Amino acid sequence: MDSPWGQLISAFGFTMNLVATVLNGLGIWCIFGSTPNSMRNYSILLLQTTVADFLASGGAVYSNVRLVAEGGKRLGAIIIPEGPCKYQLSSRSCQIGYCMMLGSNLHSLLSLPMSFFYRWWVISHPAPKKYKIFLALLATAPMTLVEQFTCNIAFEGSLSDGNKMYEKRFNASVEYPSSQVLFVTHTILRYPIMHTIVYMAIISPIVYYLVYYFRAKINKALNLLTISEATKRQHRKLVKMLVLQAIVPVAAAGTLPLFFLSQQGVVTDPIWQFPCFLPLNTVSLLQPIIMLWAVEPYRKATIGMFWKPIKYRARTKNSTIVHSTIAILQ
């Protein structure tokens, strides 16, 4: 039987992902309902990132998986869902939720360089047309689809294998129903699991190099540009928001160390199987918080939902706040 602490961590992860889903849903509502016309093009990038985070957190809520390391030289693993999907008739639905979480997190990561490129471009060029932004977004679709495909074919082993691995690892008898054990592998050093790890290891450095490159270009362009200091401050404020959003995915790097520490026997308590995916899932929680706070129309609209005296509508034609704050986003 799982320890009370393990159940508490599982409940905390489920609650965190549920809050992330609500916040991302709120972000989507703000983008559709509180985006001024001058910000329409840029909001496409905000929308696709927020939708990706919404799907990632939704998949995490539905599956709410925990990762069990087999231990030993084979690097085996079991992924066990604790979310609502375990009450379905088949683990296939859990697999869909789990893979949606991984694929959507990847898509959110891939969107970072495009946002930095957009900010650099609009400093000294006209804003790109909407169809060009959509074409740029479509360019990232194949990479996301590859992640989804490899995730969906990465399942091997039987239910009895999973139960035997768990019993061997923790010296405790356990029997999970067929709808609950999601993923059993005798080693992660095989295709397509290793492909997914290498895939992320290659993509992440490229993404962060592009982020660093375009951030340097933005700073250089702002120093050379003859615009008011107030406008420069607004540009830098938006770049700061993007930098914060770029830092957040670094938290996902904590997932693999937790797994390998458990795999090598450094940590042996079964409680460590619960928080393995918490670092990854914090990404879809923090991203909407940063966006809703940093973009003033969305912040005003969000606060206005709960505090009527400052109810705000970004589309109000006579709003000087909107035009002074948002004009640089176009």
Residue 274 has pLDDT above 90, yes or no: no
CA distance 51 to 65: 21
At 92, list the tokens: 């296939």
The residue among 275 and 111 whose pLDDT is bigger is: 111
Q: What is residue 29's predicted lDDT score, i.e. its pLDDT?
A: 94
Region 41-49 average pLDDT: 89
At 287, list the tokens: 């991203």
3-state class (DSSP) for residue 295: coil
| Closest to 325 in 3D by CA, of 246, 237, 217 | 237
Q: What is residue 325's predicted lDDT score, i.e. its pLDDT?
A: 41
Averaged pLDDT score across all residues of the chain: 76
pLDDT in tens, 276-298: 778 888 889 999 999 998 888 89
Residue 322 has pLDDT above 60, yes or no: no
CA distance 102 to 200: 11
Q: What is residue 169's predicted lDDT score, i.e. its pLDDT?
A: 57
Q: What is residue 20's predicted lDDT score, i.e. its pLDDT?
A: 95
Choice among 171-180, 237-246, 266-275 with the minimum mean pLDDT? 171-180
CA distance 33 to 55: 20
Q: What is residue 30's predicted lDDT score, i.e. its pLDDT?
A: 93
pLDDT in tens, 68-100: 776 666 666 777 778 888 776 566 778 788 888
Residue 205 has pLDDT above 70, yes or no: yes
Q: What is residue 289's predicted lDDT score, i.e. its pLDDT?
A: 93
Domains of the chain: 4-293 (1.20.1070.10)
Q: What is residue 276's predicted lDDT score, i.e. its pLDDT?
A: 74
Residue 327 has pLDDT above 60, yes or no: no
CA distance 273 to 143: 29
pLDDT in tens, 147-166: 777 777 766 554 555 556 65
Region 49-70 average pLDDT: 87
Residue 224 has pLDDT above 50, yes or no: yes
Residue 314 has pLDDT above 90, yes or no: no
The answer to whether 170 touches 71, Cβ cutoff 8 Å, is no
Please indicate, yes or no, whether the overall pTM of this predicted structure exceeds 0.85.
Answer: no
Cα dihedral 293, 295, 297, 303 in deg (nearest 10): 0
Looking at residue 96, the DSSP 8-state letter turns out to be H
The residue among 38 and 297 whose pLDDT is bigger is: 297
The residue among 213 and 81 whose pLDDT is bigger is: 213
